[in-house]
Structure 1
Amino acid sequence: MKRYLLYFILIIIYNPSLFSEERVKLYIAYSEGKFGYIDSNGKTKIPFKFQSVTNFRGKFARVEIDNKYHFIDKSGKEYFFDNTYQADYLFDSEGYMIFESLESCYLVNENFEKIFPAFAGRCEEFGEGLMAVQFDFFDDSSYGYFNPKGNSIKGKFDCAKRFSEGKAAVCSINKEKVSKIGFIDHNGKFVIDPIFDIPLLEDQFGLEVSFSESRAKVFSNKIGKFGYINEKGILAIDYKYLRASHFSEGLAVVSNPTNFNKQEVKEYIDKNGKVIISVMAIEAYPFKNGIARIKELPGKYYWINKKGKREFEINLQNEFIEINDFDGDLAFYFSNNSNESGYVNRKGMKIFTWTFTFPKN
């Protein structure tokens, strides 16, 4: 049961598409030892009968019943797919599902038909019709892109990230025979030469090395800070931030924290690096649908508009509570010191709550 709790929490925290992408939003929930789906009023839409579940992406979500994996649509209808790998998978927003085991991966379309070839390496999420692939698991320089509908890009890179705004970040050996980050187009041609550092720490590399609103975050190992380049690869905002988000709705969140658990200055900058909003907070998050989440104190959050004014706040009176962004009418919350989880609305009212219980050893 503990693995299901961790799996569930990670799905909700790190997957920005927790909710249905159509008008009817379905939320993962838990009751009496099983998972199911609810609507924004807390009403059960798909019964609580699953050992584990995932969010909906496109038409389907994956569920587990009696240690076997199935797929369901938003009506709850079940579809069985014989996944011989019995491995994790990724739903993709472009009409494919990616199945991945330790040393191989392959694609399945929405009719549950396998698309070959299967790759003896790793598959990443699609972007603009191309999927980043490690073609050979034992060759660290075999990253490229697979196009199920056309020409693929040969596996010759040390890393490959998702395509966005017509470009993808890849790692490649430059003229000095050092692996650096550059950007290629859909034909695999460099449009920004590989001159940018690969961060020494893996978590600094992350998944955000891509263009967003004509800016891409880059890192300098010499300076130890992030900056931003424009679409021509020119440094538009200097290397001066220890932490930096992607641009969203015209702004990015930047900071130079000295203590990650105390209030410090967090700034929202525009594409020229001008500070538009400044807040004192433990954490600040990118704008989404016109508002941005601010963690003011442990367990206390508020949301601001583009003028930096507070729209509403939520305080669940528990310093161990963490609250996610709103998507639709609800935001997921969880407690770091108990097994309580659930959803709240914009008035701070708990809509659906549950407590995970574990069998005694």
Structure 2
Amino acid sequence: MSDNLFQVTKDGKSGFINDKGQVVIDLVFDGVSSFSEGLARIFVGDKVGFIDTKGNIKIPPKFDTVSGFSEGMASATLGDKYGYIDTSGNFIMEPNFYRCWDFENGFALVMQEVVSTGCFIDKFGAIKLNGRNFLVSKYSEGLINCSENGDWGFIDINGNFIIPPTYKYAREFSEGKAAVSPKKINGKANKKELYAFINKENEIIIPPLFTGADIRFSDGMCAVWDKGYGYINNAGQLVIPCDLYLGQHFSEGLAVVKPNGKGKEYGYIDKTGAMIIKPTFTLAESFENGLASVTIGKKYEEFKYGYIDKSGKYVWEPTR
């Protein structure tokens, strides 16, 4: 979401509200997605286009599928193949790819064919990196986690190893840190698959203490697992014990969690681990621009979707 606009659906039609719960773009579309770079997807029948934050149609619904915009480009299909369009809706890379991902720092991961291992292209469509299995990698904070002969390290966009491939596995960088699984700990094999965190100088800044680590730090916190989910801070201190059934990323000071026990609902904790919003939701999303999307209902056919503020109060009562 951006510009403090939030997608909603009622009686089968979709539009947008502001952070006060007021409808600002009428619910007239068959579906919508969140705004990205000032544009949001609208679904009209089986075609997709874009509107601006005033509700004006900027790109008529003509695509079969299309992503949100990232760095001024969006992947789109007319038929079975993907290409990239600009904010005018014109293809600047013809739909010749089997699959495409968003651009980040000037580059995007694409699959050229169904059996492709993926490659990185620039904004002109030129292949920058190829020849590795990049489908389990991510270009983040200037580095790409990738493997060589089964060992993991980090390369730059030119394909040079900046951090040598010496780990059993490596996750992407976030907030200057990356989770890695060393082959050995104190001279012994890492049989428990413990994870440590390194900086971009390949220095271990948080020792390997947990059997699982979330993909990334956010809001200075990272979810870790040891017979349950908990959270560490930037110093690697376990500040929320590993006694949660599920823990997701922190955003705007709160994280979606599912406590241990018989209940299956989601709620929200703060950085002390205190339950700020009781677990009463079937599904819950992270807070963004002060609101969070939540779902209630026992069966998919009965699901209703609403928005809450940080006190847990509905600003948009659940609808469908």
Q: Do both proteins adopt the same fold according to a TM-score greater than 0.5, normalized to the shorter chain? A: yes
Contact 2:39 2:50 in 1 (8 A): no
Cα deviation, residue 259, structure 1:
5.5
Q: Pick from 106, 110, 114 the counterpart of residue 99 of structure 1.
A: 110
When residues 161 and 279 of structure 1 are mapped into structure 2, their CA distance, relative to the original with a 3 A threshold, is same
Q: Is the 8 A contact 2:84 2:95 kept in 1?
A: no
Runs of 4+ deviating beyond 6 Å: none
Report the Cα distance in structure 1 between the residues aligned to 2:44 and 2:69, rounded to whole angstroms. 16
Corresponding position of 1:331: none
Secondary structure, aligned partner of 2:60 = strand
One of 221, 225, 235 as aligned partner of 1:215: 221
Shift of 1:81: 5.0
State the Cα deviation string for residues 195-229 of structure 1 (Å, max 9, x = none): 3103xxxxxx7xx4311111111111xx3x10111
Matches of 1:259 and 1:273, distance apart in 2: 18
Q: CA RMSD in A?
A: 2.7
List alignment gaps of at least 5 residues for structure 2: 1-32
Residue number in structure 2 paired with 1:270: 270
Check conservation: 1:96, 1:108, Cα contact below 8 A.
yes
Partner of 1:183: 197
Q: Is contact 1:174-1:194 (8 Å) kept?
A: no
Cα distance change on mapping 1:80 and 1:315 into 2, 3 Å: closer
Name which of 38, 42, 61 aligns with 2:74: 61
2:242 is the alignment partner of 1:239? yes
Q: What TM-score comes out, normalization by structure 2 length?
A: 0.75
Contact kept? 1:81, 1:112, Cα under 8 Å: no
Would the alpha carbon gap of residues 172 and 40 (structure 1) be closer, same or farther in structure 2, given more than 3 Å must change?
same
Aligned equivalent of 1:119, options 127, 131, 146: 131
2:316 to 312, 320, 330: 312
Change (3 A) 1:26 1:296: closer
**Mapped partners of 1:144, 1:130: distance in 2:** 10
Partner residue, 1:166: 176
Number of equivalences: 275
Tell me the TM-score normalized by structure 1. 0.67
Task: Give the Cα separation in 1 of the matches to 2:139 and 2:126.
Answer: 18
Distance 2:69 2:100 in 1: 13
Deviations 1:303-352 (A, max 9, x none): 22222333221323xxxxxxxxxxxxxxxxxxxxxxxxxxxxxxxxxxxx
What is the alpha-carbon distance in structure 1 between the residues aligned to residue 232 and residue 157 of structure 2? 31
**1:312, 1:108 → 2: CA distance?**
41
Q: Do 2:145 and 2:153's aligned partners in 1 also have CA atoms closer than 8 Å?
A: yes
On the 8 A contact 1:57/1:93 being kept in 2, the answer is yes
* Partner secondary structure for residue 246 of structure 1: strand
Q: CA deviation at 1:168?
A: 0.9
Structure with higher strand content: 2
Give the 5 Å matches for 1:194-209. 194-198=208-212, 208-209=214-215
SS in 1 for 2:36: coil
Quick one: structure 1 residues 30 and 156, their matched pair in 2 at CA, closer, same or farther if it must change by over 3 Å?
farther
> Aligned pair in 2 of structure 1 residues 103, 196: CA closer, same or farther (>3 Å)?
farther
Alignment partner of 1:148 is 2:148: no
